[in-house]
Amino acid sequence: MSIAPCRAPVLASLDRAQPFASAEDAWFWTMAALTARRDGARLGAGRGLVVRPCEPDDVVKCLDRLYRQRRIDLAHARIMRIWGERHESPSPRIPQEAGDLRLWREAMERLDFPLRAKGIVSGPPRGLQEAEVVPFRGRAA
């Protein structure tokens, strides 16, 4: 039995794939896809408006690896799920969300590197800014 060429899946080229600007963006996209899948949507590569360099499961696998390496805790994963389903991050202006914000930032900082290594995220590194060199004012020789 042969497969008809017109029935073969057409995969989008990775040359057109647009990486995410941050780990937060990748996580919100992943949670939206997982929520849609849970609600019965059929997801497929290259069907969205923007071609992405990964599947939602790739981001989940990075998160799972961080958990197995004990780089993130169940508390981090819980906060990521709760705020990911809301499609927003905890607000620094609301005192009741301070604990969630701390866990959220830790999780996003730890998720950032593996996503960059896989080419899923390509924006400026999270939390790193241009450093200012301060001259040393020690004793003169």
Tens of pLDDT, residues 105-138: 999 999 999 999 999 999 766 655 566 777 777 7
pTM: 0.75
Q: How many secondary structure helices (H) and strands (E) does the chain include?
A: 4, 0
Q: Is the dihedral of CA 25, 40, 100, 111 positive or negative?
A: negative
